[in-house]
Structure 1
Amino acid sequence: MKWKLFGVLLFGYHLTFGQNYPKEYFLLKQKVESFVVRKDYKGAATVYSEIFNLIGSKATNDDRMIAACFWARANFPDSAFTQLEIVASNGRYVDFDFTSSGNLNSLHNDKRWPEFVDRIKKFDLPSLCTHTYNPPSPIPIVFTVDPKSIYFKSDTYGDYLNDFDNVSSVSTHAYNLRILRSDKGEFSKRSLILDLRQPVINSGATSQGVIKDSVASFHVFYKFDTTVRPWVVYNFRDMPIGSTIISPRTEIFVHINGNSNKLQLGYWGLGDCNEKDGKGMRNGGEGTTGVQVTRNSESEYTIEAQDGSIGRLWDITNPPFSIDKGLFKTGFLIHLKYQ
């Protein structure tokens, strides 16, 4: 894919499909590519202005930083710093080595540059965690939602298989299921369904209805040890065969009215390790129920949140300023098997 190649080689970025953007967003990204091929960076930056007008507050720091790079390369420092100011205001940003990037060289002699660097670097914290083992490549897993699953359901098209229908289903330090868009921004035919109609009274939650999402994801972790320094995240495959544990962190990501939301179960939240994926967020699972994970054999696991389990919902559209949407009753039953 040309855009992906451009993003990785020119700016060190990757295109993420975490937001539920309109198709026009991806068409505009293709328009950006046409300007980049011609090295018309002003044209590319101008298209990014159209993108920001389209998606408003949903614009990510990734997109803002890329736009700043285009404006800098086109010698429009004021426009570049406008985008950099938004990035700095959003808080911690660790996905981009902006100090060594040649794309921002034209800004280095500007009096605003040192101030921007100082503001960003105070958020650029080292990771607090290490991992017992990361496989050289993700291990494919078959993901099956049991028909008995109550609040979290499949789309009735059967198992979710890695590398089919834009599905990524793999084991790393966690088990991760992601339904992605295609390179052209098209939705997968697959989806996941999350019932959020059972808010817990006096938790600040209100019914969100039944959410069916074609860019949803599910994550479950085995073990998180905070008794040592640095903290240790155990690999999903470290779990002994025949054992049953309570996961410290299980997450279901869905979009509600176009906004990114996460249902969290377990005390350990994304961002607690200062990991880059956290984007500055700090949102754990206070008041939630841990999910039970059983390793049945070398290749099979069962993941169960019993009926009446409790999850905490977060709106993470703007990660450093996530919104706590209260507690919800939930429950699900999932089977995993290595392919």
Structure 2
Amino acid sequence: MPELQSKIHRSQDFTLTAQMHEHALEITDNDGHEVYQNPEKLVEAILTVQNRYGFDLPVLGYDVYNVEAEALGKKIHFLQNQAPQQSEANLIEDLSQVKEIIPKYSPDDLRNRDRFAYVLEATEIFIEKTGSIPYLQFTAPFTLAARLIDFEKLLTSMISRPDPVHVFLEVLTERVLLPWLSLQKEKFPGAEIYLGADALASPPNLSTEMLEEFVLPYVELLKKEVGSGVGIVNWWGEASVKNLEDFLELKREVSPHGEHLRVQDPDLNQIDLSLLKDYVKDQKMHLTLGISARLLNRGDGQQIRQRLKRYIALSEELTHLTIYFCSLGSDTPPENIKHAVSTARSIFQNTN
């Protein structure tokens, strides 16, 4: 078996990868009930997508936002042609009661519980089949909080009653997320990357000041307790912030090892790419550029080519570039994916 290593990039100059799990429902005989409840089928489906289109890396994706929420009592609905969805019912109504409502877990409590066990088994199977430890995943503290309480109430409380919000985030971090990350670390000691899914914290949902007050401290706590490989890369909103470089710096602070930066559509298509390139070069970071699902679903060949050409041009001055297809859905046309992959490789070869 090859030497195991956790990675979200390769040593080569250029990497193509994607969020693959939902598209697997389209090109395999499995449906959402099977793939998201049977770890063997999940891994097989993801590897089928990788091999079908020639991506460099398989990505062990799944419905990460549901894992901790289900353990806390959220109802999860399994669907035929897409990833499972959470019930919209709120679990938390009164922030003052969170210490009584949120259970105290230990790693042993989670080992065989619901979707925690599913994720652990899927990770073991992925390692067995690929020889690589995937990046390990969790729901970041803020987004987990926003999934449990009315989002508008949470935002209002952040302004009018910040102390209960901080208690809420601290309880979720210490009672739920630290035990979960500790269990993953125990099971997969060679892992180097722990990615927190935190899309709901992105601007303009939160200002950069809110990110600094309500998000950064709890990511830093996880980094302190688990390791610097804990981080977030999926904040979007670059096109909506007042100062792009300040936001990029905040993203660097919360990224795994302070080394990984992902910027994705639609923001990526609206910002100054030269500023982004200079920042990445100065900070010696690994850059991932995300191509939108909308473009891959609805764009024609010329539109896809133009977008890829603009982004891949950055590779001339960077030591490494990853192009990430943000979400290959069950309805993404296979011919568009094939065209995008072959076009990206051709552009890179001609550029370099």
Query: Per the shorter chain, which TM-score range?
Result: under 0.3
The structure whose residues are more often strand, as a share, is 1
Does 1 or 2 have the higher relative contact order (CA < 8 Å, sep 6+)?
Answer: 2
Larger radius of gyration: 1
TM-score relative to the length of structure 2: 0.26
TM-score under structure 1 normalisation? 0.27
Higher share of residues assigned helix: 2
